[in-house]
Structure 1
Amino acid sequence: MFDYAALTAVSAIVREGSFEKAAAVLGLTPSAVSQRVRGFEERLGAVLIIRGQPCRLTELGTMLCRHFDCVRVLENDVAARMAWKDDNASLPATVRIAVNADSITTWFTQAVMAFARQEQTITLDISIDDEGCTAERLRSGDVMAAVTASSDPLPWCHTVSLGKMAYVACASPTFMARHFPHGVTAAALQKAPYLRFDRHDLFQSQWAEAAYGVTLGAPVCWIHSANAFLELCLYGMGWALHPLPLVEQYLHSGELVELNPAHRPVVPLFWSVPRLYGAALRRLSQCVQNAAEEWLS
């Protein structure tokens, strides 16, 4: 049997970043928290926490905390059905989710807000990654649920289609005048500066290849921020692909100009959660599907 008192301490330390802050949350002394963790590590014969600022989990610690999160979510459901007061209420159950940046900046926050109105005992830990990489985060057990671009259901997951996100290649009017004075051509596109979200983001290159048959060079900027990605495009630093719901207002106002209206790629999105999950995750899944229905085609 696992020492869940010790796992509670381990989870709190990583969540809060230090033994001292974890002790304050748990209502214990830092010494008591340290003893719980050290005793558990000695029994396991392995280190669970890399001490530092902030503290980090080892591979085994990560695995055990994932297990602990699942247990806490299920305990939360049982406690609600039995009207039972949870002694570990100071450390809420956590659902770890991987979501792509474009979903966060458009529709997914609505799902989170709707879930928060229904559920007060679950903490959401949302990490942002490319939609092509979130499925791997789910497969590795790093997260409990994910918005992905993959329809291939994992054996232990229930996967539903959320719809499709349409994208628009666009740039500011000044950028268009400077780099495409005679219209967007293959030769001009190859030379024009463009933005790239991160190393996983091949979207602009794929679009250029599909629409114009050209290979792009190095981007003018890597910017791992969805908001800054749009702001730099509005500023005229480069062209890029953006979700249509995010830039539609700028296209109407003339603050952005579409490079080629005939080429609007669409990305299918899916929601994957474990098949064996409790009421809280069912409510979260419903909120996700409802929000996606409003935003996605």
Structure 2
Amino acid sequence: MPIDPTQLAALSTILRLGSFDAAASSLNVTPSAISQRLKALEEQVGASLINRSQPCTATPLGARLAKHAEDVALLEAAALGDLRRDGALPARLTLAVPADSIATWLLSALSAVPDMLFDLRVDDQDTADAWLKRGAVSAAVTGHHRAVTGCDLHPLGALRYIATASPAFMQRYFAKGVTAQSLARAPILTFTPKDQLQSRWITAKTGATLHPPSHQMPSTHAFVDAALAGMAWGMNPETLVREHLDCGRLIALDRALPMDVPLYWQVTRVMAPALAPLTAAILGAAREQLRHAP
């Protein structure tokens, strides 16, 4: 039996806004109507779809159905084009993207597609493709050069990182040089436990696998601020620290050893036609702002 689109809309809106009342206001219906639509959908599929918490969250099946509703809305918007009804909200797209891409180049691409709403799920470039594998997003910026099954892959270029620290930090920990011994005791910055950039740079620099003390700081701009404050050293996007390096507020641990991280745009094949304008904007922004990867 086909699923009623109004019931799917109720489900996805509750999850997007976090409550039945907010969903009712957004859809211009009563909270009772929202509750009835969700109840009917749960009875049809024979399972609970929402955890009635504050805010409301999805059960695994609820998340799958909400993602299906999002995809249907995107496909409908692409098919109707200029025939979309007046006053209709833009279609919503869920993406998995690295925080550093958001902070450096990605927003210029997203802003070039004004008729779409974005729900960004932040993850490391090395693990963002996991969202595609479990069907939680329609597209992602990843660090893997092999496409997830059922996805198209587009090389974007590389985001360059520089190992940076404050002058005071350099004097304290690296007065005698950036060596394996000094790197082993100098505190580093890590974004999350998934973040391996600092460890990879250490291995490239010394050939050793080291485990220095670490601050965990899940914010791109806080990474820069913490380096400026002398808390630790970290791998920062070159575009965000170039002025600090030029002015001497930050110092590169080794100017001859930047790290270029290749990035790729992956989009599910079934959604690729509907997302073609976004893909074009992503590729255009990457050509302008990322380095050409070998």
By the TM > 0.5 criterion, same fold? yes
In the alignment, residue 44 of structure 1 is paired with which amino acid?
V
Matched, 1:65 2:66: yes
Deviation of the 1:86 alpha carbon: 6.9
Instruction: Provide closer, same or farther for how the CA distance between residues 270 and 230 of structure 1 changes in structure 2, counting only shifts above 3 A.
Output: same
Task: Note if contact 1:197-1:223 (Cα within 8 Å) is conserved in structure 2.
Answer: yes
TM-score of the two chains, using structure 2 as the length reference: 0.94
User: Residue 217 of structure 1 corresponds to which residue in structure 2?
Assistant: 211
- Structure 1: give runs of 5+ residues left out of the alignment: none
2 CA distance for matches of 1:206 and 1:155?
Answer: 28
- Structure 1 counterpart SS, 2:205: helix
Deviations 1:39-83 (A, max 9, x none): 2111221000000100000000011111111100011122225x2
Matched, 1:112 2:110: yes
Of the candidates 248, 255, 277, which is equivalent to residue 261 of structure 1?
A: 255
Deviation of the 1:129 alpha carbon: 0.5
Task: After the TM superposition, list the runs of 4 or more consecutive aligned residues in structure 1 that deviate by more than 4 angstroms.
Answer: none
How many residues are paired up? 290
User: Residue 51 of structure 1 corresponds to which residue in structure 2?
Assistant: 52
Deviations 1:111-155 (A, max 9, x none): 112222xx2xx2111111000111111121111111111121233
User: Residue 270 of structure 1 corresponds to which residue in structure 2?
Assistant: 264
- Structure 2 counterpart SS, 1:182: coil
Instruction: Provide closer, same or farther for how the CA distance between residues 93 and 28 of structure 1 changes in structure 2, counting only shifts above 3 A.
Output: same
- Structure 2: give runs of 5+ residues left out of the alignment: none
- Structure 2 counterpart SS, 1:36: helix
Deviation of the 1:267 alpha carbon: 1.1
Deviation of the 1:108 alpha carbon: 0.5
- Structure 1 counterpart SS, 2:275: helix
224-233 or 148-157, which moves further after superposition?
Answer: 148-157
- Structure 1 counterpart SS, 2:126: coil
2 CA distance for matches of 1:47 and 1:26?
Answer: 22
Of the candidates 241, 245, 257, which is equivalent to residue 239 of structure 2?
A: 245
TM-score of the two chains, using structure 1 as the length reference: 0.93
Deviations 1:152-179 (A, max 9, x none): 1233211111011121111011110111
Task: Note if contact 2:77-2:84 (Cα within 8 Å) is conserved in structure 1.
Answer: no
User: Residue 93 of structure 1 corresponds to which residue in structure 2?
Assistant: 91
Task: Note if contact 1:7-1:64 (Cα within 8 Å) is conserved in structure 2.
Answer: yes
Task: Note if contact 1:73-1:278 (Cα within 8 Å) is conserved in structure 2.
Answer: no
- Structure 1 counterpart SS, 2:187: coil
1 CA distance for matches of 2:272 and 2:141?
Answer: 19
Deviation of the 1:216 alpha carbon: 3.0
Of the candidates 197, 205, 217, which is equivalent to residue 199 of structure 2?
A: 205
